[in-house]
Amino acid sequence: MTDTSQISKLLNLDNDSRSDLHKYIELRFIREVELLISTKYKEQVFRCPVHLSVGQEAVAVGVSWNLTKSDKVISTHRSHAHYLAKGGNLFKMFAELLGSSAGCCGGRGGSMHIFDKSVGFIASIPIVGSSLPISSGLAMAEKLVGSTNVVVAFVGDASLETGAFYETLNLASLKQLPLLVVIEDNGYSTYANKSVRVSAARKSRSLIEGFGIKFLSGNGDNLDEVIEVTREATEIVRHGAPAVVEFSTFRLLEHCGPNNDDSLGYRSSGEIESYKQRDPLIPYFERIESPEKTRLDDLISDYVAGQFQRAFDTVKIEYEKFQENFRP
Amino acid sequence: MRYSFTESIKMALDHTLQDNKSVMLFGLGVGDVGGVFGTTIGLQDKYGASRVFDIPLSENAVTGMALGLAIQGYRPIMVQQRSDFSFTSAEQIINQISKTKYMSNDEYEVPVVIRMIVGRGWGQGPTHAQAPHAIYSHIPGLRVVAPSSPSDGYNLLRGAVESSDPVIFIEHRWLHQTIEEFEPKSESFEIEKAKVLVSGSDISLISLSYGVLECIKLAKVLSQFGTSCEVVNLRSIKPLDKSTLLESASKTKNVLFWDIGHRDFGISSEVTRVLHSELFSRLEKPILSFGLPNEPTPSSPFLASNHYVELDRALLEINHHFDLGHSPEELQDSRQRLFPYKSLLRDQPDIGEVGPF
């Protein structure tokens, strides 16, 4: 689960509660992080490519809702939400994106390579499809030691266009690996609509069931549905069989970078407007009955900004040292 | 005891599986009756199918699986019956396995060994006879080793499994039938040091894998003519054991490098760079390099015989390049006396197995 304990403390909330309020806090927390990155990115603060998850938060939160700390997650280039939802450390993530040695990979990886074993977030692998083979090995190791841990591989819909996807499915089915593949279908690969990449006749369900693997799907905009579908899927996997779940979702911003991409014309303004109607945060905000409701967003936003400032101050000192020591 | 190279590889696998429960062995053919040219026969029965097993024909996925296992604390050994097949898993090797330790800020160790068997002869041709050690040596994060004898095979394989870094293990198919007497050690397996196999004072013959056997033959022929050659077996290609190479080259001041892969843009360029950067003006002659020409390996035995450097051509070039002044006819006679060619077709080794292989 997302580490929102500091926010809970500020609100005097029981951090273990799994109320609608908590669901909203997790979603909002991740949203605020991504929006802050988007804002600061334009100021040239983060000097690495970023793939933001604005709009896709519910899948990350809902899947990890069913995971324990010892379960393992592997992700892709778009991994901020997955990392935070698995309990990742926001300061270490900001520091990583800023190129600081205090980052979760010491600044070696940047946004596209988030590794943090301490929270079971094994790696993010930004070559599409490439995380899946690795996930099969992680899962085989869990099976060999007889654990009930689940290995979750988050992938985008374009991974179904790679050979690695099918090689891994066969391997997972053959060896009955405790692997849960979570497909986030946002309908796009970079700036291309799926319709130019994938035959309209292709059906993920029959492809995956063809390997003898259980396939489930759901609406990725609806956190409760993601939680329920993933609960069923993780049950299957904890009993020793692989499963695949597919969630429809959307990304509000461009493929890589901090901006809206309305001007590019590959998706209509109507389409983007319809996404805004689907925003996964709205229903949970409406359900909140807490007296804190009015200041909730500000409080989360302030907390995120505070963590950013800590990381920024850290990297500022490093930069000063770098300037002192740099000899061309 | 006398062991063939095949036996020494099997023994190294057996001992390492025995000693360390986290070692696993898999690849196409590992569990079948052929057992990867006999090197894995019986190991599945002995250690069980969860540790030793055949794989789907999905080398890319299985290579990534090896990485996932290594991150979780296992020490997988993967086998590629032909190194050419490794290019189907190059994405995992080059983008993932080699970089995982670095990307994790040294949090993860990646003790993956990939045995890559280099084919030669009997029509292997363009896609079954490539030697990819230069390609993998180019990638930071990978170690590359190449044995040239049964004891080398045993020691380097055991050392590779002990290493916490990924190791590409280059295994030449023509070494399998070679035989050597040695006692297998049970610890301290050195995988970074080159070895001087023959001491000499006039020319350093530096090589790797099967090329070392050719250099030993060259040294024997040339010694008949009073030219004293030193034969250096690289063993470790990446990292290069610079001190052993520099020591030999600064003594002889003349260097031949013989590669089993393509000559251009390969290890010979690297060896030349290293030696020139330290010994440039002290060498008597430019470094001479032998390797495969800049074209794919042909299948036809006639075409392939000209593709590989053979001993007579090597002797003539050495004689000319280093101004040795020996009689070309006498060199050839001596070679024929000491190492008779079974056939003019150079598509199978003169000693040991005949094709198909």
Cis before residue B296, ω within 30 degrees of 0? no
Q: By C-alpha distance, which of A111, A104, A73, A69 is closest to A89?
A: A104
- CATH code: domain B2-181 is 3.40.50.970
Closest CA relative to residue B232, chosen from B266, B269, B205, B271: B205
Q: A104 to chain B: which residues are within 8 Å by CB?
A: 105
Question: From chain A, which residues contact B within 8 Å (Cβ)?
Answer: 104-106, 108-109, 113, 115, 117, 122-123, 125, 127, 130, 132-142, 144, 163-164, 167-168, 170-171, 174
Interchain pair A133, B95: CB under 8 A: no
Helix orientation angle between A90-97 and A20-41, rounded to the nearest 10 degrees: 20
Residues with Cβ within 8 Å of B63's Cβ and at least 6 positions away in sequence, in order, are: A133, B78, B89, B92, B93, B97, B114
CB B258, CB B213: distance < 8 Å = no
pLDDT, tens digit only, all 357 positions of chain B? 999 999 999 999 999 999 999 999 999 999 999 999 999 999 999 999 999 999 999 999 999 999 999 999 999 999 999 999 999 999 999 999 999 999 999 999 999 999 999 999 989 999 999 999 999 999 999 999 999 999 999 999 999 999 999 999 999 999 999 999 999 999 889 999 999 999 999 999 999 999 999 999 999 999 999 999 999 999 999 999 999 999 999 999 999 999 999 999 999 999 999 999 999 999 999 999 999 999 999 999 989 888 999 999 999 999 999 999 999 999 999 999 999 988 888 888 877 666 666
Q: Where are the beta strands (DSSP E) in B48-172?
A: 52-53, 75-80, 113-118, 143-145, 167-172
C-alpha–C-alpha distance, residues A27 and A62, integer Å: 10
Say yes or no for a CB contact (<8 Å) between A130 and B96. Answer: yes
Query: What is the predicted pLDDT for the residue at A187?
Result: 80
> Which one-letter amino acid corresponds to residue B129?
A
Query: Would you name the residues of B annotated as active-site residues?
Result: 128
DSSP category for residue B173: G
The chain B residue lying nearest A164, using CA atoms, is: B61
The pLDDT assigned to A268 comes to 76
**Where do the domains of chain B lie?**
2-181, 195-338
CA B288 remoteness from chain centre? 20
Radius of gyration for the alpha carbons in chain B, expressed in angstroms and rounded: 20
Would the CATH topology of B2-181 be identical to that of B195-338? yes
Radius of gyration in angstroms for the set of CA atoms belonging to chain A, rounded to a whole number: 20
Give which of A70, A105, A128, A134 to mutate to test B binding, by max B Cβ within 10 Å. A134
Sign of the four-CA dihedral B23, B117, B213, B317: negative
The continuous run of DSSP H or E covering B252 comes out as helix B242-252
- CA distance linking residue B79 with residue B169, whole number of Å: 9
Q: Which pLDDT does position B355 carry in this prediction?
A: 65
pLDDT digits (tens, 9 = 90+) for A151-180: 999 999 999 999 999 999 999 999 999 999
Contacts of B51 (CB under 8 A, 6+ apart): B17, B23, B24, B25
Quote the CA–CA distance of A258 and A47 in Å, as a whole number: 12
| C-alpha distance across the termini of chain A, in Å | 46
Task: Record the tokens describing residue A252, joined without a space.
Answer: 């509000």
Query: In sequence order, what are the residues at sequence separation of 6 or more whose Cβ sits closer than 8 angstroms to the Cβ of residue B340?
Result: B350
pTM of the model: 0.94
CA pair distance A5, A291, nearest whole angstrom: 19
Question: Going from the N-terminus, what domains does chain A have, and what CATH number goes with each?
Answer: 5-188+198-322 (3.40.50.970)
Topology classification of domain B195-338:
Rossmann fold (3.40.50)
- Say if residues A193 and A158 touch (Cβ distance below 8 Å): no
When CB atoms are compared, the residue of B64, B73, B96 closest to A141 is B73
Nearest C-alpha in B relative to A127 = B95
Q: Which residues contact B79 (CB under 8 A, 6 or more apart)?
A: B25, B26, B27, B28, B29, B30, B36, B39, B40, B114, B115, B117
Minimum mean pLDDT among A113-117, A290-294, B20-24, B43-47: which range?
A290-294
Nearest to A136 among B50, B61, B73 (CB): B61
Q: Is B49 on the interface with A (CB under 8 A)?
A: no
Q: Please list every residue in chain A whose beta carbon sits closer than 8 Å to the beta carbon of residue B50.
A: 144
As a whole number of angstroms, the distance between CA B254 and CA B287 comes to 7
Q: How many CA atoms lie within 13 A of B142 on its CB side?
A: 25
Candidates A105, A133, A174; nearest CB to B92: A133
Cα A70 from chain centroid (whole Å): 18
* Of the partner residues B56, B68, B103, the one whose CB lies closest to the CB of residue A140: B68
* CA–CA separation, A268 and A286 (whole Å): 28
User: Is there a contact between B108 and A142 if contact means CB atoms under 8 Å apart?
Assistant: no
Give pLDDT, residue B357. 63
**In B, which residues are within 8 Å of A137 by CB distance?**
64-72, 76
- Structural tokens at position B46: 């002995």
Closest-CA residue of chain A to B65: A137
Tell me, what's the pLDDT at B352? Answer: 64
